[in-house]
Structure 1
């Protein structure tokens, strides 16, 4: 009897010593969203003048998506549609809305002092977001960078919409200064060691505009991109033992032209002398505008390299998927020399064709996915994907059901090199810059402009032969045109916000 008991104890001990079967760890996600970074401004898409070695390395060891699109050609709606998985015919936020009924929201100094004037129109707190889905499934979630989807005292703050941690600019207008007087950490206003310099402040007329020292007041102690970057690195360090989602929404290279002097001077040595930018259009002046812009992109590149290094240091590199993209096409103002850098190559450059517009230069954006051991290194995909695909993609990635209310389609198969079902079409509408619509269906792209003037005229382009959208062939393919116009009609729903309504589409 005793021997049987001893045998049973030994058997129990043997089983109890065996490790329990462990479930595969959910992959960490690092989503890097550049601000106004053009399709042609990165080395892996052909840029020759600006150094982006870390982005290029991410591409070389990962997969480039050559047909990736933002969901809107400006900041706030693009960010909202990433989070909600809805296109601009269904989304709540469809444009930049400064929520002007509050008061003097465009007065930078007043808004810096009064959080009631800061921030944009808020997403409702009950909105379903990518961050909420990940948070509810065991992820620690953080947003570091620029928000733009609800003022500090509104319901639409990051910590109400799925983020455990937030540090950065709540307000897009306040981000028009990269040496701001404050940033936000969750619901707390954090003062920086910077004087208040209002965007648009001109160079003193008594100072020599050709002397870099004359621009001293535009360089201050606390450079927001650096301050925010350290918070992102700390988040990674502190959350290495559980799945994490870091949404790194950098303000770079969005204007104003401000960068660390040492990086600027590196490009001055390359580019040589240039005329200063006088600070018109509401931005700060800059002694070396081209060199400064290139330095901003190179700084972003360095920070991306540091993020990846930190993930490697905490032992999570092989279990982390990195996604790098941009919120919309490049700027055309504020001292940015888009012709010098060929910012939208191979698409059209300049006002009317880049940021703010639904032509390819405004909505086709750089895109790289990197996941060691899962994504084939040095590959490309021509699958047409878009921001509102990220929600279903992340849901499939972590094995949860996709919300019923989404316009996206998971492109995880394309990421992993598997057979991918294409979209039937992609849809955009944009109530700003005159009111616009666009549809892409395979090689075909339909565009409407000036809808706020009450006239509907549809252009048609064959992107396979005309990626710059120079030759309107609407009169040659009436059946294709009719099909795309029907999509435009069906995908539009009237916005509940008057500012986002396009009356001619609701007639």
Structure 2
């Protein structure tokens, strides 16, 4: 970790030593990290979205800072969360892709998962890998997570409560999160049974049903809406821990499909968008007004952000709370979502091959806004290049402690505080063994990409993001010296993964 400059140490001491009223009950800031799921770079008003309304998230940026060059650690759910929580990049981390651990049995069957927790969840983190929650807990923080975990099945050694979180309420399993009306959630180590019947994943309309009749969709709007339940637990956590420093990881499943949203918001966007073609595809669940429902999901999440801020203010902890809002990867293109309609990754391309699941900018560049009253200058826009695996180092910097040795990150605290010329990475690195196998490097304005590695391809595409932001012109042939440099980085940063599914033979695994 970098050494903190003496004047910054004095500044941080003065920041953390007292609250707004001059008391010293909180000597370190609360931290709320809100992670949306599959929210594209262009799906917030502050990032240019024209159709979906996000006033509360936009207000965080207005009162704080907006980052234009922030990256996820991976282009899909589980590895992105692993990079975030461990501070490791995908060349070093244990979880490098989504792994549903299918050898256990019927892992995609909701009835089977509801009956047998051994069929829930994804591959676990090893005991030797620590998380940001453990770092904060060791330094006196109350720690909580609501939302989606995805880093270890319920009966494994890797659940939130064994990885540093005092409180957990949400989905242990990413597959269970493919319905917003699940049969159960988890509250710490116990099942929280919900009043929802089981509707098999990927179910469609009943045979002969009228796709334009709202009654045809009754199986897909049930009783207990999981995001409501998790959100109330988050607000409760904030209230219960108002007198101690706390860390809340708000890992929302929204707006990941299926398209299931609150009626209030769906009606609002139905009126705004007018008639549209129903979605009756064969992935996730059908929806009568898919565009209205997708927009409704994002505005619902925005409403939840507003309620978090309001609760902080009511409890007198807002002034001493750092709030970060971001997304785990780029927008999806399946399940009825139309990213072209919303320009979801603007100015980048959102479609299959360029959005979620891919290491082009549309798949890994994500929005990030942060608010910290009195410490982050309101209305700031930063082009500082940062990435998920920097969060561990940033939190360590806030605490003025050393980050764990496993960390590949670099603190962006100086960028948050508006310090001139904050330290920068020499380069960022990604590898992703899914979607035929990919690698990427961001070094200054250069972006190097490998695709179809599992097919034996090691050719490197090269783009200059300064002149070709949307990666349209591969100029590898014109810069052999840069290609040689990128090849060396690809070799240096890749280690052989412990899990066979994540191995790529062409890289020597």
> Is 1:388 aligned with 2:389?
yes
Name 2:94's counterpart in structure 1: 92
Contact 1:125–1:160 (8 Å) recurs in 2: no
5 Å-filtered alignment, 1:95-494, equals 95-281=97-283, 283-419=284-420, 420-494=422-496
Question: 2:146 is paired with a residue of what secondary structure?
Answer: strand
Deviation of 1:22 (Å) = 5.0
Deviation of 1:483 (Å) = 1.0
Question: 1:66 is paired with a residue of what secondary structure?
Answer: strand
Question: 1:245 is paired with a residue of what secondary structure?
Answer: strand
- CA deviation profile, 1:38-61 (whole Å, cap 9, x unmatched): 000110100000000001111111
Contact 2:31–2:321 (8 Å) recurs in 1: yes
Tell me, in whole angstroms, the C-alpha distance in 2 between the residues paired with 1:107 and 1:180: 12
Question: 2:442 is paired with a residue of what secondary structure?
Answer: strand
Name 1:13's counterpart in structure 2: none
Question: 2:404 is paired with a residue of what secondary structure?
Answer: coil
Tell me, in whole angstroms, the C-alpha distance in 1 between the residues paired with 2:102 and 2:23: 57
- CA deviation profile, 1:253-305 (whole Å, cap 9, x unmatched): 00000001221111011110001000412x11000000000000000000011
- CA deviation profile, 1:148-182 (whole Å, cap 9, x unmatched): 00001111100000000000000000000001110
Deviation of 1:213 (Å) = 2.2
2:29 to 5, 27, 33: 27
- CA deviation profile, 1:28-87 (whole Å, cap 9, x unmatched): 000000000000011010000000000111111110010000000000010011110000
Tell me, in whole angstroms, the C-alpha distance in 2 between the residues paired with 1:221 and 1:487: 51
Deviation of 1:221 (Å) = 1.2
- CA deviation profile, 1:358-397 (whole Å, cap 9, x unmatched): 0000000010011000001011110100000000100111
> Is 1:506 aligned with 2:508?
yes
- CA deviation profile, 1:174-219 (whole Å, cap 9, x unmatched): 0000011100001101110111111211111232210112211211
Contiguous gaps of at least 5 residues in structure 2: 1-21
Tell me, in whole angstroms, the C-alpha distance in 2 between the residues paired with 1:229 and 1:257: 19
Question: 2:384 is paired with a residue of what secondary structure?
Answer: coil
Tell me, in whole angstroms, the C-alpha distance in 1 between the residues paired with 2:127 and 2:91: 20
> Is 1:68 aligned with 2:70?
yes
Cα distance 1:471–1:381, how it changes in 2: closer, same or farther (>3 A)? same
Question: 1:383 is paired with a residue of what secondary structure?
Answer: strand
Contact 1:27–1:398 (8 Å) recurs in 2: no
Deviation of 1:24 (Å) = 6.0
Deviation of 1:126 (Å) = 3.7
Contact 1:112–1:174 (8 Å) recurs in 2: no
Deviation of 1:108 (Å) = 2.4
Contact 2:26–2:243 (8 Å) recurs in 1: no
Cα distance 1:22–1:216, how it changes in 2: closer, same or farther (>3 A)? closer
Contiguous gaps of at least 5 residues in structure 1: 1-19
Which of these two proteins has the greater Rg computed from alpha carbons? 1
Could you tell me the TM-score, scaled by structure 2's length?
Answer: 0.94
Tell me, in whole angstroms, the C-alpha distance in 1 between the residues paired with 2:24 and 2:314: 23
Name 2:18's counterpart in structure 1: none
Name 1:10's counterpart in structure 2: none
Report how many aligned residue pairs link the two structures. Answer: 487
Contact 1:144–1:167 (8 Å) recurs in 2: yes
Tell me, in whole angstroms, the C-alpha distance in 2 between the residues paired with 1:461 and 1:124: 36
Contact 2:25–2:243 (8 Å) recurs in 1: no
Deviation of 1:101 (Å) = 1.9
Tell me, in whole angstroms, the C-alpha distance in 1 between the residues paired with 2:432 and 2:366: 17
Contact 2:26–2:245 (8 Å) recurs in 1: no
Tell me, in whole angstroms, the C-alpha distance in 2 between the residues paired with 1:504 and 1:206: 49
